[in-house]
Amino acid sequence: MSNTHVFVTAEIGINHNGSLEIAKQLIEWAHLCGCDAVKFQKRTVDKVYTKEYLDSYRESPWGTTQRAQKEGLEFGKEEYDKINALCKEYQIEWYASAWDIEAQLFLRQYDLKYNKIASAMLTNMELLQTVAEEKKYTFIATGMSTYEEIDAAVEVFKRNDCPYEILHCNSTYPMKNEDANLKMIPILRERYGVKVGYSGHETGRIVSTSAVALGATSIERHITLDRTMYGSDQAASLEVDDLQRLIKDIRTVEKALGDGEKMLTEAEAAVRKKLRG
């Protein structure tokens, strides 16, 4: 295995809680920690959810309905224009997982290098087709999915000649370490013949670091300013200190993996000469 750079995405998602100021802080921290990209989630609320669901009760900082909560978490053009400008300033890539076609079309106004298919969207063939048509490098998360569902999704990207990377994933928040099933990484790589990354929802760092040791070519982790903040993804997120440590661990494992060629280093050759004469 050659010594390749593991692509690390800090998933901001909806952890900004509708605050551009929080989003800016998270982008800045991701940049300072050495992440390659930050990611958001984009939804057209009325397209993703039914009226009955949106009208139902939910207590949140924005009101007492699901609609108030969903709309409170959603950024529009004004916010994304500022996010786009800030990421350019920090020279960090940004992209988003769209949860509906309208949201994906919204993202096209920005010069984004990457797309993402969220695990929940893997079987939405119309959305997959819309994404694949762009022919941008796409991360395809496979949480909650069968081989048959992954096969069908992959076929859309192959048909459109769109480059993609599969992300092994378990869609529980937070995920128990023993549910990670990291041996799937080499199995997926063998089955599909493409790069395989890992999208993690655990609370610590060791699982993500181990994924790199098993050959994961990308790591995506949710990040937050404070895991006790309001929000469904906060508990499965890394705070800044842990993000910094994770990046350091990943870069260490990258180097330690080497290239798989049997050879004597200069330092080892010196020891050999001393011990074997």
Residue pLDDT, tens place only, 106-162 = 999 999 999 999 999 999 999 999 999 999 999 999 999 999 999 999 999 999 999
Q: Is residue 228 part of a domain?
A: yes
Give the separation between CA 104 and CA 115, rounded to whole angstroms: 9
pLDDT at 3: 60
Which tokens go with 109?
Answer: 């106004």
Q: Is residue 66 part of a domain?
A: yes
Give the separation between CA 257 and CA 259, rounded to whole angstroms: 7
Residue pLDDT, tens place only, 174-186 = 999 999 999 999 9
pTM above 0.85, yes or no: yes
* Least confident range of 109-123, 156-170, 259-273: 259-273
| Crossing angle (nearest 10°) for helices 20-33 and 77-90 | 20
Nearest Cα neighbor of 174 from 126, 136, 127, 222 is: 222
Name, in order, each residue with C-beta under 8 angstroms of 229's C-beta and a sequence gap of 6 or more: 15, 17
Range of the domain at 23: 7-276
Domain count, the chain: 1
CATH of residue 209:
3.20.20.70
Cβ neighbours, 10 Å, residue 147 = 11
Q: Is residue 1 part of a domain?
A: no
Contact 92/34 with Cβ under 8 angstroms? no
Q: Is residue 29 part of a domain?
A: yes
Q: Is residue 92 part of a domain?
A: yes
In whole angstroms, how far apart are CA 100 and each of 79, 128, 131, 173, 268?
19, 10, 10, 22, 56
Contact 125/159 with Cβ under 8 angstroms? no
Q: Where are the beta strands (DSSP E) in the chain?
A: 7-13, 37-42, 57-60, 63-65, 93-98, 114-117, 137-141, 164-169, 196-200, 218-222
